[in-house]
Amino acid sequence: MRRENEFRYSKLANILREQILSGYIKPGEYLLSENELCKHYGMSRTSVRKSLDQLLKDRLIVKKVGQGTIVSPDLVVPVSERKVLRVLATSPSHFADSCMQTLIDAFQQKYSHVDVKFMSFPTLDFWESIRASSEMGLQPDVIFAGDRQCLESGLSDDDFIDLQEPLEQSLQAMYPRMAGAFRQGEAIIAAPVTFSTVYLAYNPQLFEAYGIEKPGPHWTRDEFVAAARQLTVDTDGDGIVDQYGFSVNSAFNRWPVIALQNGVKFDGNEDKEPLVRTLTFIHDLLFRYRIAVNSAKFLRNSDAFVRGKTGMVLTTSIELAGWRNEQLEFEPQVAPLPFGEEKGTLLIANAFMIPSRCSDPELAVEFVRTALGPELQESIGRSSQFVSVLREVNERLWDKETLESLNIRDERIENGHFLFEMIPDSNRVEELDSALGLFWAGLEAAEAAAERLRSLR
């Protein structure tokens, strides 16, 4: 826990330090308030204060009683004579935390005359921050973002370089599903560097402790429920169940996997029955069988699983890499999704974009090409266990059974759907999410919740 907290303090301190030293926040200007920093970066007030204390010790900031925190008016930011490549990234990001420095080091081994300036902006106001940065003269050369963010810049496709020709070889080596994921018209505006299906992970230590057989390729829903029942235990005998079989996350990037497996299409025209069946099953797990716990969607996803308090969870390789930074005491294993007859699941990806106005397009392309190189992709996969966008790399790192549990078969990513493809309008995602508040509390029946969702189509 102590190492995890120190990682968070350092992470925010480093983000703010780079924003100050890059000139994004100038001497004498105010930082966001503590409340705003908590909100934007998803951290507790204690973590934010410790981050600010680090910057205070470095004499980068000054706290003004009753007014806030400003960048030290006496700070002089040195001007470099070297060539600079600016990489702006969304935050929080498990890939950026775990792998970006490795990528920067690999790039600078080839281009030692270039300084890479890496800066993170909070997800909530990401594109607004990018625009503000550009207006201040800090034009990004490379942008790192999540899959939906790549398509919600509010800019035209012409504002980004078409990566089809400059990255032709890299794109040809990718899974076709990934290579074409960010095609807009005739152009490819973003190149994914890692991706993941949403899959079922389990704690092998708990399975072994309770004598539960390892999930096989044809694991059924009944077997899933039976395993979750065995794992739901009052471990200390105080009359309160403190270990559950499954973490159900109410976020729209997790639970719809159960719906997809039951035939829900999320296209506004689906039958009501598959949706009712899905929601009834979730209520069964949470309230009738009482073998699952609802994870808080706005905190670190599925915290109970990380603490060994639940046996199974829907997750991604990207999220799992972030958990490893928190010193997991076990190595999660992958199980086939057992929730229905359909084999659908969700996809997520992180990708690079190159603005048309970047200072050196050739250098920016080389940075992204470095990220997609087989050697670096394999190195990142081995060290952090991210899934590569390159088939050849995954087949060296993962066995066939694991890849098939991730819905990856040969060069195909089967029945994987990006949320932005199913529901293009992010406002509609928020509407659908808000409509389920009573359902998740167990205060609205599955039938009524399904009808409410269908009324919003």
Q: How confident is the model at residue 2 (pLDDT cuts 50, 70, 90)?
A: very low
* 16-20, 74-78, 194-198, range with greatest mean pLDDT: 194-198
How do residues 134-178 score in pLDDT, each as one tens digit?
877 778 999 999 999 999 988 888 999 999 999 999 999 999 999
| 250 has pLDDT over 60 | yes
How far is residue 315's CA from residue 257's CA, in Å, rounded to a whole number?
11
Domain shared by 440 and 292, yes or no: yes
How far is residue 264's CA from residue 257's CA, in Å, rounded to a whole number?
9
How do residues 276-326 score in pLDDT, each as one tens digit?
999 999 999 999 999 999 986 555 445 799 999 999 999 999 999 888 877
Q: 3-class DSSP state for residue 328?
A: coil
Closest CA to 111 of 361, 363, 355: 363
Handedness of CA 270, 272, 274, 276 (dihedral sign): positive
Given this model, what pLDDT does residue 80 score?
Answer: 62
* DSSP H or E run through 294: strand 292-295
Domain shared by 223 and 288, yes or no: yes
Block residue for tokens 């996809």: 347
Given this model, what pLDDT does residue 295 score?
Answer: 83
In a domain, 438, yes or no: yes
Given this model, what pLDDT does residue 4 score?
Answer: 47
Other CB atoms within a 10 A radius of the CB of residue 319 amount to 21
Q: What is the pTM of this model?
A: 0.83
How far is residue 87's CA from residue 331's CA, in Å, rounded to a whole number?
32
How do residues 207-239 score in pLDDT, each as one tens digit?
999 999 999 988 999 999 999 999 999 999 999
Tell me, what amino acid is at 385?
Answer: Q
Percent pLDDT > 90 in the chain is 65
Which tokens sit at 42?
Answer: 């998803």
> For the chain, what is the domain count?
3
Average pLDDT over residues 120-139: 85
CATH of the domain at 126: 3.40.190.10
Instruction: Note down the domain range covering 299.
Output: 199-315+425-455
In a domain, 330, yes or no: no
Q: How confident is the model at residue 79 (pLDDT cuts 50, 70, 90)?
A: low
In a domain, 332, yes or no: no
